[in-house]
């Protein structure tokens, strides 16, 4: 695959009014989601749940550009024997795959992490491409409290993200580069802005050194937002303005799009923040859209609760959240649309 083909896929991933469904929860992570709704974490339940999402055809066709899958999911088949990857493709969306091995303790550091998974990655990417994946995701995390992150942590993760991205492009796969400044602590929005800017600048420096083609990648960053435990939570407008300011300082215009993670935000907050950015800044050099997991799935999971008779209600909940975020991706969402749906 040449650079033009990679760029074409990357643009399709951030197409107007569409975003990415992050359905790449590990078996351990989805256990936590299923525990909340009283569902056994069994292979058939994981399959049934994800199948109901991928078969919500209007949501998938109108508002979902791609789906990030887990290793198990990219190999699974629906009840009727159709590969789940094929369901995604039939809906006009692009299958993707999570390829990192998770954040592990960074040696000799102040409780920091580095994401592992580079060993054997080339071979895994070759296999995933054969299975239908046309993009991949690698997540690195940084904690902006207690003097963290250190330069060692930022540099180690930036280097790994760059090596991963180069390997993806070498194998015809568009890399989603995900450097996430966490929002679990008590840090204020100023700390998040400073750390996010530092992380993004170092990440793009390493991407340059690794010869990554920026036109053939998608950035998946955090929004600039105060920690959940911070006493002062910024307004929707302030989050939007601070986030756009940092992105303008750090992200080259050759990157086709930025697909935000939702982090620990509520469903509606993640939508409102994305909408505010697009409404106030319609002429940015890159598309601003979503790559949400929990903010797209919490409502359908609750509606489903593991019961076949609840599938229509779960699909309706997913359809609604996908539509709301699709509107936010073009700056046309309004809060009263949420109330009407309720």
Confidence of residue 342 (pLDDT cuts 50, 70, 90): low
Confidence of residue 142 (pLDDT cuts 50, 70, 90): very high
Q: Which residues pair with 69 in a beta bridge?
A: 23, 97
Pair 202, 155: CB distance under 8 Å? yes
Q: Is the dihedral of CA 230, 236, 237, 239 positive or negative?
A: positive
E strand spans, the chain: 19-23, 64-69, 94-98, 103-105, 113-115, 135-142, 174-181, 218-219, 257-260, 287-292
How far is the C-alpha of 319 from the C-alpha of 301, rounded, in Å? 13
Where in the sequence numbering do the catalytic residues fall? Answer: 220
**CATH number for the domain that contains residue 165:** 3.20.20.70
Tell the residue number behind the tokens 């966490």, with chain if given. Answer: 182
Q: Which residues pair with 114 in a beta bridge?
A: 104
pTM of the model: 0.97
What residue numbers bound the domain in which 264 lies? 3-341
Decide if pLDDT at 330 tops 70.
yes
How far is the C-alpha of 97 from the C-alpha of 137, rounded, in Å? 6
**Per-residue pLDDT tens for 169-211?**
999 999 999 999 999 999 999 999 999 999 999 999 999 999 9
**Per-residue pLDDT tens for 207-256?**
999 999 999 999 999 999 999 999 999 999 999 999 999 999 999 999 99
Q: Is the dihedral of CA 32, 33, 36, 41 positive or negative?
A: negative
Confidence of residue 341 (pLDDT cuts 50, 70, 90): low
How far is the C-alpha of 236 from the C-alpha of 313, rounded, in Å? 30
Into how many domains does the chain fold?
Answer: 1
């Amino acid at each position: 695959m040449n650079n033009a083909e990679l760029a074409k896929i990357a643009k399709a991933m951030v197409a107007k009014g569409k975003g990415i469904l992050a359905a790449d929860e590990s078996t351990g992570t989805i256990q936590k989601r299923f525990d909340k709704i009283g569902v056994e974490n069994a292979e058939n339940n994981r399959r049934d749940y994800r199948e109901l999402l991928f078969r919500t055809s209007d949501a998938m066709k109108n508002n979902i550009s791609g789906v990030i899958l887990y290793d198990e999911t990219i190999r699974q088949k629906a009840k009727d024997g159709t590969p789940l990857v094929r369901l995604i493709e039939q809906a006009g969306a692009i299958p993707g795959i999570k390829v990192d091995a998770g954040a592990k303790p960074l040696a000799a550091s102040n409780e920091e992490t580095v994401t592992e998974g580079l060993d054997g990655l080339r071979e895994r990417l070759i296999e995933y491409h054969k299975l239908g994946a046309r993009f991949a995701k690698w997540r690195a995390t940084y904690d902006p409290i207690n003097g963290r992150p250190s330069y060692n942590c930022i540099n180690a993760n930036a280097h790994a993200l760059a090596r991963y991205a180069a390997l993806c492009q070498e194998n015809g796969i568009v890399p989603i580069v995900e450097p996430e400044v966490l929002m679990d602590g008590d840090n204020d929005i100023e700390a998040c802005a400073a750390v996010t800017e530092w992380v993004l600048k170092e990440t793009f420096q390493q991407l340059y050194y690794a010869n990554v083609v920026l036109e053939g990648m998608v950035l998946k960053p955090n929004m600039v937002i105060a920690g959940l435990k911070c006493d002062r939570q910024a307004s929707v407008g302030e989050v939007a303005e601070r986030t756009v300011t940092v992105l303008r300082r750090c992200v080259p215009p050759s990157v086709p799009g930025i697909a935000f993670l939702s982090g620990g935000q509520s469903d509606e907050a993640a939508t409102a923040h994305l909408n505010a950015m697009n409404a106030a800044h319609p002429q940015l050099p890159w598309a601003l859209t979503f790559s949400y997991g929990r903010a797209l799935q919490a409502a359908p999971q609750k509606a489903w609760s593991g019961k076949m008779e609840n599938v229509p209600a779960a699909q309706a909940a997913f359809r609604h959240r996908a539509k709301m975020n699709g509107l936010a991706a073009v700056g046309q969402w309004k809060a009263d649309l949420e109330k009407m749906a309720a």
